[in-house]
Structure 1
Amino acid sequence: MHRVSLPEKQAPQPHSSPFYSHLVPAYQAVWPAVAKRRMSAAIKALNIPAGAKVLEVGVGTGLSLNSYPTNIELTGVDLSEAMLAEAEQLIAEKKWQHIDVMPMNAEELTFEDSSFDIVTSFHTISVVSQPQRMMAEIVRVCKPGGRILMINHFRSDNPLIAKVVDSAGNITKRLGWRTDIELDEVVRELPLRLDSRYKPNPLSLFTVMEATCKPEQVVLAP
C-alpha cells in the first residue's frame, strides 16, 4: 500500500492543541502506559475478519497499530503530520504492508460514503472542535451493518463525579481537550445501534463504546 497525500490546497493545518504540534515526545513517553493495553484489548475483542477494511480516526503515532490483525486493510488518519511521521517510521520498521496512514481532518473525512467495514477512534473526539460532526463523519464512511469502536472520556452519569471532572475543564481546554462531552449527545439522531458501553474497570475515567452502523439499511441475504 502507498501513502496517499492530500492535494496541497486541502492539506490540513496542525491542530491548535499543543498535543498536535509540540508534544509528540511527551505523548510517546507517557500515553502508552496509560492507554495501550486498553486499546489493544478492545481491538482484539472485535475479532476483525480477514480482508476487512478498517479506518482508525486519530491514529496519532501509531500506538494501536500492532494490535490489529495483519490480514486486513487498515487506514489511519490524523491531523498531526508530526505524529504521522512517527507512525510511518513504525510502519517502515515493522515492514507492515497492510497499513496506510495519511493526514486528514476527522471532521472532514475525504472518503466516500460506506467505505469501511470497521471504524475505530481512540481518545480523539475530545480534541476536535466539533465532536458531533466527527461522529457523523465516522458514521457516514462506515458501511451499513459495519462496526464502530470508540474509547474516550465522556461526561459521567454520576453527578458527583461529573462535577469534580468538570471543575478541571478550564485547565484541560487550555491543553486542547474537553471533559464535558456527553456520549448520548454525540450519537443523538445518528443511524447507530449502541451495542455496548462500559468502563474497562470501575475506576477508569474512560468509556469503551461499540456500535453497529446504519442497521436499518442492512439487506439480509435470501
Structure 2
Amino acid sequence: MTQSRARPRDHGATRAADRSQSEAPVSEAGVARTYDRLAPLYDTLFGQVLEPGRRRMAKAVRTLQPASLLEVGVGTGLALAGYPADCRIVGIDLSHDMLERARERAARLPQHDIAIEHMNAERMRFPDATFDCVTVPYVLSVTPRPAELVREIRRVCKPDGTIVVLNHFSGSKLWWLLERAVRSAAEHVGFRSDFRYDEQILSHDWQVLSAEPVNLFGLSKLVMLRNRSQASSNTTAAGSDR
C-alpha cells in the first residue's frame, strides 16, 4: 500500500522562523556524526543531567495512556522504560551507534512492545495519522530544519493527538550567557543555542495545553500540545472572522 506523503500547511509558521531554517548551523550528516561519536559517552554526559525532564515527560505520557507512541530522537533509549507497557512504541534516530544502544535497552524491556528504526525525522516513512502520541525530547534544537520536523511530527500524529516537546528555549538572562559561550561551537556539537519559544512553539497553530520548566534551573521546558486537525483549525479561523 502506498504511504501518504502529503504534508499539511502550517499556517502559523512565521517569516522569522522560516529565516532561521535557512540559517541553521547544523546539518543532517553533522548531527549523525556528532551523535555517533557521543554514543559511548552519552549516558554519562547527558543521562542524569537531563533525566528530570525525561521522567516528567514519561509521567505525562503514562497519564495519557496512548495506544501508540513515536519517540523522535530516541538516542540510547533512556526514556523507553518510563513509557506505558501496554503502548506500542516506535523510536527513531539518525545515529546508528545510538540506535544500537537503544535496541539493547529495548531488549531488556520484554514487557514493552518497542520497535527501533533508523530514520530521518524530517522525512519519515510512516503514513499520515499513525500515532496517538509523539514525543520529541531534546531534538528540536539539533535538527537542521525545525519547521520540517514540526510538519512531519504533525503529519504522523493523529488529529487531536498529543505532541510532547522537551527542549531548551532561550530568552532568560542565564540562557543569554550560555548562548554567548556555546554559539561558536554549535556546528560541532549539533546544538542550536538561540532557540526561541515564540518562534518554535507559539508560531504554529497547534494548541498549547501546558508548558512547565524542567531540569536544572528550569533551563528546559516540557510542552504539551494538541495536534489540532485541519478541520478544527479552519473552524476556529472562521469563528474568529465573525
1:180-195 pair list within 5 angstroms: 180-187=194-201, 190-195=204-209
Greater relative contact order (CA < 8 Å, ≥ 6 in sequence): 2
The amino acid of 1:207's aligned partner reads K
1:171 pairs with one of 160, 168, 185: 185
Q: Which runs of 5+ in 2 are unaligned?
A: 1-26, 233-242
2:73 pairs with one of 43, 46, 58: 58
1:131-175 Cα offsets, whole Å, 9 max, x none, are: 11111111111111100101111112x3x3343132021123322
Alpha-carbon distance in structure 1 between the residues aligned to 2:42 and 2:175? 26
Matched, 1:114 2:129: yes
Alpha-carbon distance in structure 1 between the residues aligned to 2:214 and 2:145? 26
TM-score for the superposition, normalised by structure 2: 0.77
Which is richer in helix?
Answer: 2
Q: Which runs of 5+ in 1 are unaligned?
A: 1-12
Counterpart of 2:103 in structure 1 is: 88
Alpha-carbon distance in structure 2 between the residues aligned to 1:65 and 1:217? 33
2:186, 2:193 within 8 Å by CA — same for their partners in 1?
yes
What SS class does the counterpart of residue 75 from structure 1 fall into?
strand
2:53, 2:220 within 8 Å by CA — same for their partners in 1?
no
1:49 pairs with one of 65, 71, 87: 65
1:19, 1:176 within 8 Å by CA — same for their partners in 2?
yes
Structure 1 vs Structure 2 CA RMSD: 2.1
2:217 pairs with one of 200, 203, 216: 203
1:194, 1:210 within 8 Å by CA — same for their partners in 2?
yes
Matched, 1:147 2:152: no
Question: What count of residue pairs does the alignment treat as equivalent?
Answer: 203
In terms of mean alpha carbon deviation, does 193-202 or 69-78 score higher?
A: 193-202
Alpha-carbon distance in structure 1 between the residues aligned to 2:165 and 2:131? 15
TM-score for the superposition, normalised by structure 1: 0.83
Matched, 1:36 2:51: yes
Alpha-carbon distance in structure 1 between the residues aligned to 2:221 and 2:109? 30
Counterpart of 1:5 in structure 2 is: none
